[in-house]
Chains A and B, each alone.
Chain A
Amino acid sequence: MNSIIHILKTQGNDILNSIGQHITISLVSLLIAAVIAIPLAIILMNHKKIAEVILQITSVLQTIPSLALLGILIPIVGIGTVPSVIALVLYAVMPIFQNTYSGLTTIDPNLEEAAEAFGLSRNKKLVKIEIPLAMPMIISGLRIAMVMIIGTATLAALIGAGGLGTYILLGIETNNNALLIIGAVFSAILALIFSALIKGISKLSLRKIGIIFSTVIVLMGGYFGYRAIEQPKVSITIAGKMGSEPEILINMYKELIENDHPNMKVSIKPNFGGTSFLYKALKSGSIDIYPEFTGTVLESLVKTNKSASHDPKATYELAKKLLKNQEGLEYLKPMKYENGYALVVKRGFAKKYDLKTVSDLIKVENKIHAGFDPDFYQLKDGYPGISKAYNLEFASAKTMESSIRYKAIANNKVNLVDGYTTDPQIKEYDLVALKDNKEFFPPYQGAPLVSEKFITKYPELKTTLNKLAGKISVEDMQKMNYLVSVKHEKASKVAHNYLVKHNLIKRD
């Protein structure tokens, strides 16, 4: 509870911003869906067969998992608000269409007969009788759609459209329940508020509803029009994966670029989701830059039959060459720190047995009770490989979920775990990562990834972004991750402080 209050205090503005984004995305989607679904139902109310086909189609759309839909949309329309809105519209069309259609087709046949017998024209009958009588059904369709949209819109965070989903995803990723609860509770509240609002609107006359409808459309049109005009000449989009580390890095990129090139405006999209989303987005030009690890490039982005080298420099060179040849991408220079696998013990334990490297573990191998992430436990680059390379045999080794293994070592349930060298928990729980003195683990160095087309257009950015080459040690990164994900400091502030301290930008 305390941590929730702390986050609300320190990040209140960001949360408000997210709520704003969430509402905008949801309302735009609902309006578009209504503008499609309601007229469609009106047109098809006397064409039962076609209407049933449409109902089938919209129900099928509804069964497509939203993540898959977003994945399909990225190469077509890029990232950000547009694909999110498209996906939400596709989902919302069905309840609105279905309700409007059944509202219009279940009107008392006596009333239909009366209207017919009085010689009302088709339009008059529709406006005066059918739509008002179907209105309760239409409204309930809109409410169902709204609640669904607000819930599903949390996924928009995955593709950089922001919204409350950012907090939910971040909460899951970093095992931070406070963030998760903030995201979930606020989106639930939004759903309730909007559902009640729509119900309130339904009590107004058709004319007033029309006025409200068009006002909202005009306001939104104005807002987006203003935003479109506001865009500066050169705008660059930088995205990062889930978590604090990429967020800190892209804030550094942003600040360096804006510092060197005042005519450029950088927008950042932190917590953008998994590797493949980012990679697709980069290739489709929706984003311009994102930081990627050398190890990940060789593992999943390019095709290679060479076994991974354990030399960081060779790994980077190979990744750079393959990205250029196979994908037409430019891989700029890497930073100093490596964010690879590491074996981690408590500082006290390391001191007691004088452990500095993985090789040193041989002295205490029969005292080691290890807790490993299930992947690490099985991968040949993980536990099986390292125990062979260093000829280690631990007293016991269990698998446990990655999020709880640090808690396990902090509570002395185990005395050795796997981790990533820059994990903030290493600092949080006063742990040490043992040096991989035989260079067994494949190197993971971070470097900015851009398309060749982009960097040819703005070659000056190469110099700017390469200012970080060889900078940032493992300790620096660990500390910054700690400040952001444990102490809830703003990533932009942490990034700024680092750049100032290391004279990479002018002091302000």
Chain B
Amino acid sequence: MIEFKNVYKKYENNENTAISDLNLQINDGDFFVLVGPSGSGKTTTLKMINRLIKQTSGEILIDGQNIENLNLQEMRLKMGYVLQNIALFPNMTIEENITIQPESLKWSREKRHKSAMDLLDKVGIPQEYAKRFPRELSGGEQQRVGIIRALASNPKIVLMDEPFSALDPISRNQLQELVLKLHQEMKTTFIFVTHDMNEALRLGNTIAIMRMGHLEQIGTRDEIIHNPKNSFVNGFFRNQHNDDKKIKLIIDSQNCQEVDYQEPDLNEEDNISDLAQILRNKKSALVESSNGKVWKLTIQSLLNYLARDGEKDE
């Protein structure tokens, strides 16, 4: 079981608290989804579990043990991790990528090889791909490998940070099914971050909805659908059903400028309404696009875009 007790996180050079007073429990074997708009603190929450981000105060416990007292390397070797940008190591073959944790755990060569082959079978990738390099695979195939890489060491906990947001809808659909299947087979704790409410509802046994560093509601799928705790949950749920326009459109219309990489406020897949929300309080918002670039968007960018969009509509 993973427990968050009064966890706060405040980033330097940012006045707002990223996470404030977070308390939650994640039971063993659960499929736990953290969902919320960008800047809600869901990724921060996820990364605090494997100590990629350290909380400012409060405690995080795994099976009753404070994670700060665990050996960092040992702890991480027992956790799987799937990244949004897939991040397969381009210098290693598929098999080497999959078995990177087992190798560090000093598994024998045969055991490693067998486990890699089993996993490839499980996700429907031909075994002969094992000797190929990541660049030779399609995006969907790469993320399948990314997922089994996280499962290779039979971890008790697997962390997934928006793993499907960069994929096309068809691959996303297939992979959602795949992780559900894998979860059923493996009985591992999956902790899954997404900004897509549909995805959350589809995958999660337990869903935690976050906004601006606060936990808005936590509950089973049914509880969330039938008893939304407040207007935000309700609105977030509804908003996602509307085919709202994405910020990507503003970036594509070149009404903004690129800046050096820094912690973004939003993702380009977020809705323009999210952007408007942020621009109400701040002069500018930082938006990350799928290629990893960060763009600075101002009210002017938004207005320019809307004005031009209006022209087109007429």
Q: Is the CB of A114 within 8 A of B81?
A: yes
Q: Is the CB of A118 within 8 A of B76?
A: yes
Q: Is the CB of A128 within 8 A of B87?
A: no
CB under 8 Å from chain A, chain B span 58-104: 72-79, 81, 83, 85, 87, 89-92, 100-101, 104
Q: Is the CB of B104 within 8 A of A129?
A: no
Which residue of chain B lies nearest to A118 when distances are taken between CB atoms in the complex? B101
Q: Is the CB of B104 within 8 A of A117?
A: no
Q: What chain A residues lie within 8 Å of B292 (beta carbons)?
A: 108, 110
Q: Is the CB of A114 within 8 A of B89?
A: yes
CB under 8 Å from chain B, chain A span 83-136: 108-111, 113-121, 124, 128-129, 132-133
CB under 8 Å from chain A, chain B span 31-46: none
Known: A113-B87, A129-B91. A118 touches B104 (CB 8 A): yes
The CA of A111 and the CA of B88, in the complex, are separated in Å by 7
Q: Is the CB of A114 within 8 A of B83?
A: yes
Which residue of chain B lies nearest to A130 when distances are taken between CB atoms in the complex? B91
A-B pair number, CB within 8 angstroms: 57
Which residue of chain A lies nearest to B292 when distances are taken between CB atoms in the complex? A110
B170 at the interface (CB under 8 A from A): no
Picked from A113, A120, A121, the residue with its CB within 8 Å of the CB of B83 is A113
B50 at the interface (CB under 8 A from A): yes
The CA of A128 and the CA of B103, in the complex, are separated in Å by 11
The CA of A114 and the CA of B143, in the complex, are separated in Å by 13
Picked from B73, B79, B159, the residue with its CB within 8 Å of the CB of A121 is B73
Task: Tell me how far the C-beta of B193 lies from the nearest C-beta in chain A, rounded to whole angstroms.
Answer: 13
Q: What chain A residues lie within 8 Å of B11 (beta carbons)?
A: none
Task: Tell me how far the C-beta of A126 lies from the nearest C-beta in chain B, rounded to whole angstroms.
Answer: 13
Q: What chain A residues lie within 8 Å of B85 (beta carbons)?
A: 110
Q: What chain B residues lie within 8 Å of A110 (beta carbons)?
A: 83, 85, 87, 292
B261 at the interface (CB under 8 A from A): yes
The CA of A128 and the CA of B74, in the complex, are separated in Å by 18
Q: Is the CB of A117 within 8 A of B89?
A: no
Q: Is the CB of B76 within 8 A of A108?
A: no
Q: What chain A residues lie within 8 Å of B159 (beta carbons)?
A: 117
Q: Is the CB of B79 within 8 A of A117?
A: yes
The CA of A120 and the CA of B74, in the complex, are separated in Å by 9
The CA of A124 and the CA of B92, in the complex, are separated in Å by 13
Q: Is the CB of A117 within 8 A of B81?
A: yes
Q: Is the CB of B104 within 8 A of A109?
A: no
Picked from B74, B78, B81, B87, the residue with its CB within 8 Å of the CB of A111 is B87
Q: Is the CB of B104 within 8 A of A120?
A: yes
Q: What chain A residues lie within 8 Å of B79 (beta carbons)?
A: 117, 119
Q: Is the CB of B81 within 8 A of A128?
A: no
Q: Is the CB of B52 within 8 A of A117?
A: yes
The CA of A65 and the CA of B185, in the complex, are separated in Å by 70
The CA of A117 and the CA of B153, in the complex, are separated in Å by 13
Task: Tell me how far the C-beta of A115 lies from the nearest C-beta in chain B, rounded to whole angstroms.
Answer: 8
Q: Is the CB of A133 within 8 A of B104?
A: no
Q: Is the CB of A109 within 8 A of B261?
A: yes
For the complex of A and B, the 8 pairs showing the least CB-CB separation, nearest first, are A119-B76, A119-B77, A117-B81, A132-B91, A110-B87, A114-B87, A110-B85, A119-B73
Instruction: Show 19 A/B contacts (Cβ-Cβ < 8 Å), sorted by A.
Output: A109-B261, A110-B85, A110-B87, A113-B52, A114-B81, A116-B76, A117-B50, A117-B52, A118-B104, A119-B72, A119-B73, A120-B104, A121-B104, A124-B104, A128-B92, A129-B91, A132-B91, A133-B89, A133-B90
Given contacts A114-B87, A128-B89, 7 further A-B contacts (CB under 8 A): A110-B85, A116-B52, A117-B83, A118-B100, A119-B74, A121-B104, A133-B89
